[in-house]
Every structure is written in C-alpha cells, then in structure tokens.
C-alpha cells in the first residue's frame, strides 16, 4: 500500500556538487548544490539561485568547476552549503580546502575533492519557474586513487555523498547493483 508523504523538491537521491569560480581578485567562491545534473554528454545543468555569490561570480568569470563531494570532506562540503559568501567574505578560507587553477580555462580545481569537471559557461536560463546555469565540460580530472583498473572513475573508490531531501541527510553511495544497458536485456527477447 502506498502512503502520501510531504512534497519535496528534487529527485532522490541527489548528488552533492561543489560549485566553484574565481572572482576578479582570484579569490575562490564556492557553494554546495544538490540540484545539478548532466544534460548532455558534455554539459552540466545547475539549478541554483541567481542570488548566490558563487552564481554571480561564475557568471562574471565565464568558467567554473563542479566537483563531487566525498565522505572524507563532508564538513567543508556542508559548511559551504550553509554559509553565504554574500555575508561571509572568508567562507572558502574557513574550509581549509586548497584550490589550483584548472588547465581548461582556469576555473578552480579543489584539490581535496576526488573528481572535478572544469566547465565553460554556455548559458543562463531564467524563467518565472527556473534559474539554470548550463556549462560545457571542457576537462574532467580525477585523483588517481579513485580510478579503477580501466583508468576510469570508480564510484566505490570516490565515496561520493548523496543528499536526501526528505530527511536532509547525507548518505554514502552503496555498492554496484547492476550494469546499465545490460540489466534490462532479459526483457529484450
């Protein structure tokens, strides 16, 4: 039997993404965003408020990074989600994280996060119902410790955080349940 639960915006579960950009003084602005997703093979859509300091900064910079938050960095990841760059000018410095300019346009790559997408701003979509930043992924880098034998990112090694909108909790990604584009093949017959 199904029961009605409270309406919550967003899918379940959602990724915990770290969005970062350099301002005109090469200072890092960073925020936590769970409302983001791939919107093409080389594009990312971020559904974030235009009022965020990070949003304003990445629009001016034209480049930004999207990193995958991991279990080891849950404290700074959550902090940049609850602290506002509009009222806390030293927000990034308080995290203890380190940034280096990326090779594909100079967006900040946060060294502690295991996977980073360096993006170029493609478009800002602003309607009465949605505000979205769309970025073209120019480069993806990953710490060697999270790569599998095939040289690709292994989610079980990344230990990515996922966000539960219903209970406002962070969870760890579990083990692999099946192979995409294969599990459903039994029904193709």
pLDDT surpassing 90 at residue 173: no
Q: What is the pLDDT of residues 5-38, one digit of tens each?
A: 777 666 667 899 999 999 999 999 999 998 899 9
How far lies 182's CA from each of 38, 117, 151, 155, 175, in Å? 21, 27, 21, 18, 17
Shortest CA distance to 44 belongs to which of 109, 139, 156, 129? 139
Tell me the fold of 14-187.
Pnp Oxidase; Chain A (2.30.110)
162 pairs with which residues across the strands?
15, 171
More confident site: 5 or 175: 175
Confidence at 99, pLDDT banded by 50, 70, 90: very high
Residue 150: the pLDDT is: 96
pTM given for the model: 0.92
Question: Would you list the domain boundaries of the chain?
Answer: 14-187
Q: What is the pLDDT of residues 24-74, one digit of tens each?
A: 999 999 999 988 999 988 999 999 999 999 999 999 999 999 999 999 999
């Amino acid at each position: 039997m199904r029961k009605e639960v409270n309406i919550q915006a967003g899918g379940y579960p959602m990724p915990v993404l770290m969005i970062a950009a350099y301002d005109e003084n090469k200072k890092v602005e960073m925020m936590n965003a769970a409302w983001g997703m791939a919107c093409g093979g080389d594009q990312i859509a971020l559904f974030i408020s235009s009022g965020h300091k990070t949003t304003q900064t990445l629009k001016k910079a034209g480049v930004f990074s999207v990193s995958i938050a991991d279990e080891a960095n849950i404290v700074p990841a959550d902090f940049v989600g609850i602290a506002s760059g509009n009222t806390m000018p030293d927000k990034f410095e308080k995290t203890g994280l380190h940034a280096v300019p990326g090779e594909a346009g100079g967006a900040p790559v946060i060294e502690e996060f295991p996977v980073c997408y360096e993006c170029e701003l493609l478009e800002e979509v602003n309607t009465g119902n949605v505000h979205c930043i769309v970025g073209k992924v120019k480069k993806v880098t990953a710490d060697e410790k999270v790569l599998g034998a095939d040289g690709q990112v292994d989610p079980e090694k990344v230990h990515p955080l996922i966000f539960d909108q219903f209970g406002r909790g962070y969870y760890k990604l579990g083990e692999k349940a099946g192979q995409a584009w294969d599990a459903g093949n039994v029904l193709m017959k």
